[in-house]
Amino acid sequence: MTAEFAAKLAEYGIDYADAMDRFGDNASLYERLALKYLDDTHFVNMKAAIEVSDFDKAYSEAHSLKGVAGNLSLNDLYNAASEITEALRHGEYQAATYDLPVVEAAHEAARAGLMAWQESSL
């Protein structure tokens, strides 16, 4: 892909160059796996768990979200998920609740970028 394409994905918090390093320049594999994130449920499950104060489940989902985001080079989401994961790990539930909108914004941005990619509108 071109630098222009990578720059467009970067607007959504997706680091395409990092992903290519991570995926050994296998663009088709990365595209296939990255687009699967559109069906990922870790964010939705984490948010629901926080809303009902099930912080053990929220931690598990946040940790999984962090892993998926990191593996796919969804860097803004990875950073936000890392913050909420650490808050939940340390029992800082108010901080986790405060961090939730930041994670949601990064999640929605990543999804928007991936949907644009899927629809070939980048």
Give residue 122's pLDDT: 86
Give residue 2's pLDDT: 83
For residue 66, the Cα-to-chain-centroid distance in whole angstroms is 7
Q: Which residues of the chain have pLDDT under 50?
A: none
Q: What is the pTM of this model?
A: 0.95
Domain count along the chain: 1
User: And the tokens for 22?
Assistant: 């991570």
Give residue 34's pLDDT: 98
91: left (phi over 0), alpha (psi -120 to 50) or beta: left
User: Which residue segment(s) compose the domain that 59 sits in?
Assistant: 3-118
Cα(63)–Cα(7) distance, integer angstroms:
28
Burial class (CB in 10 A: 0-12, 13-18, 19+), 90: exposed
User: And the tokens for 23?
Assistant: 């995926």
Give residue 1's pLDDT: 61
22: CATH: 1.20.120
User: If you search the block for the tokens 């222009």, which residue do you land on?
Assistant: 4
